[in-house]
Amino acid sequence: MKKPWTERAGDFMAGKGFYIVLFLCVAAIGISGYYLFSSLNGSDPAAPVAGTAQVTVTPTPSAAPSVNPSASAAAPSVSPVKPAIPSASPKASETPAPSASASAVATPAPTPTKSVATVYTWPVKGDILQVYSPDQQVFSTTMDDWRTHPGIDIAAEAGAQVKAAGNGTVESVEQDYFMGTTVTIDHGNGVKSVYANLTEIPTVKAGDTVSVGDIIGSVGSTAKAESLSASHLHFEMTNSGAYVDPADYLPELH
């Protein structure tokens, strides 16, 4: 009668089976030791985990110093920045420069000197026969019409000396058809004086320099446009080419 399989297995293990199990255990331990030894030596390509763990951790710190030569090569590039500090000192020197130029600009700006006002005097002394009337027409007995009168007629006997009303230069001596012998004096600043109805030959010529009160001629009767009027000097004044009232420039008569 056969024994159950459990009893037969127990008999086998009590006999030869023990040695077989022992062999298998030793073989397993040997194989495991072989793989472990080969993985430690790096000869097994199938075990990357143990090798990469050591390579990643260990070389990283050691490799950093070896790469630093490149960083040391970059270090000199930082040193050229330091020379930029001296450039700040020239800027301080440039700051006072504009103040010197500003003072130089202010120096050559002198205020122009004003010309001294000319003192005027009456060319002859006498009553005013005809007033200054440049806009309103007055009646002319000689011309028998109404016309403007751009000057004043000062009563004076024929041959009476005529004086320069102010300092200046004789601009012209003319023989005007209507106003007779006429002398024009330029007093500067745009002011001129005109003396008409003089004798044919005055005592000055164009270009002469005269002072206030100098004799320039004498009263005559050469003005055809005023020949019927009493003996007089026809006197005019202009400023910048425009007629002005001579009484505004002459002192009051006493």
Q: Tokens for 135?
A: 């806009």
240 — alpha (psi -120 to 50), left (phi > 0) or beta? left
Least confident segment among 18-22, 35-39, 233-237: 35-39
- 6 vs 55, more confident: 6
- 12 vs 97, more confident: 12
Q: Map tokens 């050559």 to a residue.
A: 108
Mean pLDDT of 207-224: 97
- 35 vs 45, more confident: 35
Q: Which of the four pLDDT bands, split at 50, 70 and 90, describes residue 42?
A: low
Mean pLDDT of 32-50: 57
Q: Report how far residue 122's alpha carbon sits from residue 212's, in angstroms, rounded to the nearest whole number.
A: 10
Q: Report how far residue 6's alpha carbon sits from residue 3's, in angstroms, rounded to the nearest whole number.
A: 8
Environment class of 199 (CB within 10 Å of its CB; exposed 0-12, middle 13-18, buried 19+)? middle
145-199 tens-digit pLDDT = 999 999 999 999 999 999 999 999 999 999 999 999 999 999 999 999 999 999 9
Question: What is the rounded end-to-end Cα distance, in angstroms, of the chain?
Answer: 188
Closest CA to 202 of 225, 226, 183, 180: 183
51-60 tens-digit pLDDT = 444 444 444 4
Q: How many residues are given for the chain?
A: 254
Contact 151, 210 (CB under 8 A): no
Closest CA to 237 of 198, 181, 191: 191
Predicted local distance difference test score (pLDDT) of residue 114: 35
Q: How many CB atoms lie under 10 A from the CB of residue 38?
A: 13
Mode of pairing for the β-strands spanning 209-210 and 215-218 = unpaired
Q: Map tokens 């055809």 to a residue.
A: 224
98-149 tens-digit pLDDT = 444 444 444 444 443 333 457 899 999 999 999 999 999 988 888 889 999 9
Dihedral in degrees, nearest 10, Cα atoms 80, 86, 88, 90: -130
Q: Report how far residue 49's alpha carbon sits from residue 51's, in angstroms, rounded to the nearest whole number.
A: 6
